[in-house]
Amino acid sequence: MAEKQTHAWYALRRTLPPWRFDELLKELTTQLPRYGVDEVIIKVDTEEFFHGQPILPWMKKYQTNLFRIKEAMDKIGVVFSINPWITMGHCDRGRDSRKHVPGLRTMIGHEGEECMTCACPIDPVWRKHVAKVWRLYAETNPRVIWVEDDIRTFNHRPVEIGCFCPLHMRAFSDRVGKKVKREELVNAIVKPGRPHPWRKIWLDLQGELMIDTVGFLARTVHEVDPDIRMGLMSSGPSRHCIEGRRWSEFADALADGQPLYSRPPMGNYSEGELRGFYYSHNSIKVTRSCLPDGVIEQTEVENVPFTKYANSVNFTFVEMAISFAYGCHGITMNLFDHCGTPMRDDPEVGAMLGAKKPFLDALAAQAQKPGAFRGVRLLHHERTSHVKRLDKGAMYHELAEGGFNMMQALESLGIPTTYEPSNVTAAVGQTLRAFTDDEIRELLSGGLLLDAPAAGVLIERGFGGEIGLQAAPPTVPIDSLGAWAAEEFHNPKFGGAPQKFMSTRMPGLGGNPPISLLKPLRGTDVVSRVVDPDTRPGYIAMTARENALGGRVVVVAWDIDAAFGKTFLNPIRLEQYQSVVRWLAGGEPAILVHGGTAGVYPLALRKDSGPETLLGLFNLSLDPWEFVEFELADPRRPARLQQLTQTGKWTTPKTLHAAKKGKTIKVKSETKTPYNQPLFIRVTWA
């Protein structure tokens, strides 16, 4: 049967355990067409019933079942792929694979914990074993074999950060020309202040060894079938910094000449706040920014423990829609348990998949068009952990890159973000340490939003004049400075006014946020300030400066990674941040979004594709938005506005309007937007 053509590609991850195999295979053949599923990804030796490192005799026997699945899927026109549940191993769960893989070298963490099942990736015994297993997978001719996100050197329970096994320690000792003990190396890696030279050597070594590991896996598969594609589940680039991942070389090695598949994690495995989707959309964007062009993206939409008790069908649908709205080619769905329970026991899930397919297909067809996502640019650098300076007593995991909270702050305030070039960039923490002076000058020649730690890095690098500050000292808890009450957004040049107060009790009501005692240069504007309980002004909270490079810079005195939380957000903060973004953009912000009195927690987007622009809004609040207004900067004039209906049709309702003033266009939808009915508008330009 010919392969189906669809933009909203559904790939269902499913386990067919041996004791219920025939029944579940029959269910796949009858239900997948009804659900609109295009591909089935068979998970092998999965979750509760996994054996640790796969047992070779068991795998040889199960391979017969994989051939049967492949044959059945070919008959109904569904693509067949494989997802081994472990590569190196996620966790032990009481398994000890050293018993059936004699000589297996397992991971040893930075504190000396040793796994019983999670394997060291450079162990020749593990490589010999996994090669035999993966050849069995490859012989069944799957479209893709997925490498799980355990292909990393952190979070292998009980090990938190590793691997510091004898093999790794020997390789490191060879690099530095002396025998080094684990404790000695770890102390050097987390040394406070200027990084110890060993940190770079260690991170570079880890990066090289993991490139070698994925290259070995790909070659093993392609020796059997050179047409199989490799898929990569990842764990977020900010975390992969702590293992020195070199994304481009890593991706090339794993692809091994074939198109590479990427599965960025969407998180939200168990339903909590809708605001968890800020993580999901950012995971797509930042992972994409690290990978080469041409990678096929299929996000991970997953419930844990795989029933509606984890995620409602509405929550799952929103996660699917976010995947396609941000241009992904498909979704991999881990929605049903791996204990052999039939899918019919959760019938609403399958019904939703089928019912929402037309809507998602129309959305995906528009979002996948070549183009650029617009907004305030966020920064990521894969070498952040190489250069980050730690405080005394810092933990190993603090080497990870920050910046997530600035993203969530901006998105929550109706300021969409991107990792693509933009006229406004936001930088926080220490990521700028990884950038060259020329790269920093380029950022300073545009609009640049900095928090206090980022400003401190630039002053240290000699750019104090360009950001308008003499000093941005290390932050201190605000309560250590005395009795301070609120932040006053007072400067009318930026939309402020006297007695526009915002809480300083961040991130929560009992908070004691870190603030830097900024010292501005003459000519630098003070946008907001901290006041005492009698409203007398005190410390500076935000500054603004135009510089000789032609750029504009706003500095926030708070450490955003520590200060952001629910008490950070309020209507005055929205006015403040949207106003300074307009100023940073020279009056031409790529996109801002507004709503009615219930218009809080937006997740908005703008994607330009030639003569068309896609606008979208996910309402991450349970209160429906009364209206949605997008504010865009564009010299063109809208010729046609269309809105995507829930049935997947682009129509022109009377509730959709556009008004142009100069280079600013306001596109307004007067349709109510609840959380489970995201809004999408297509603008066709004259």
- Section 216-221 average pLDDT: 98
Asked whether the beta carbons of 46 and 90 are under 8 A apart, the reply is no
CB atoms closer than 10 angstroms to residue 610 = 9
First to last CA, the chain: 43
Cα four-point dihedral sign 262, 265, 266, 270: positive
Q: Where are the beta strands (DSSP E) in 137-267?
A: 144-147, 154-156, 159-161, 229-233, 261-263
Looking at domain 9-368, its CATH superfamily turns out to be Glycosidases (3.20.20.80)
Side-chain half-sphere CA neighbours of 260 within 13 A: 27
Whole-angstrom distance, CA of residue 314 vs CA of residue 321: 11
Q: Which CATH number fits domain 592-685: 2.60.40.1180, 1.10.1740.10, 2.40.50.140, 2.60.120.10?
A: 2.60.40.1180
Which is more confident, 314 or 345? 314
pLDDT at 597: 72
Asked if 9-368 and 376-586 have one fold, the answer is no
Task: Kindly report the pTM of this predicted structure.
Answer: 0.97
Can the peptide bond before residue 292 be classed as cis, meaning omega within 30 degrees of 0?
no
pLDDT at 241: 98
Helix (H, G, I), strand (E, B) or coil at 643: strand
The model's pLDDT over 498-533, given as tens digits with 9 standing for 90+, comes to: 999 999 999 999 999 999 999 999 999 999 999 999
- Helices 124-138 and 197-224: crossing angle in degrees, nearest 10, is 40
What are the sequence ranges of the domains in the chain? 9-368, 376-586, 592-685
The model's pLDDT over 358-417, given as tens digits with 9 standing for 90+, comes to: 999 999 999 999 999 999 999 999 999 999 999 999 999 999 999 999 999 999 999 999
DSSP letter at 234? -
Which is more confident, 433 or 599? 433
pLDDT at 638: 96
Q: Which CATH number fits domain 376-586: 3.10.50, 1.10.357, 3.30.70, 3.40.50?
A: 3.40.50
Percent of the chain with pLDDT over 70: 99
Task: List Cβ neighbours of 382 (8 Å cut-off, separation of 6 or more).
Answer: 237, 240, 241, 245, 246, 247, 290
Point out which residues pair with 474 in neighbouring strands: none
**Does 646 score more than 80 pLDDT?**
yes
Among candidate residues 310, 309, 419, the one with its CA nearest the CA of residue 374: 419
pLDDT at 217: 98
Asked whether the beta carbons of 110 and 199 are under 8 A apart, the reply is no
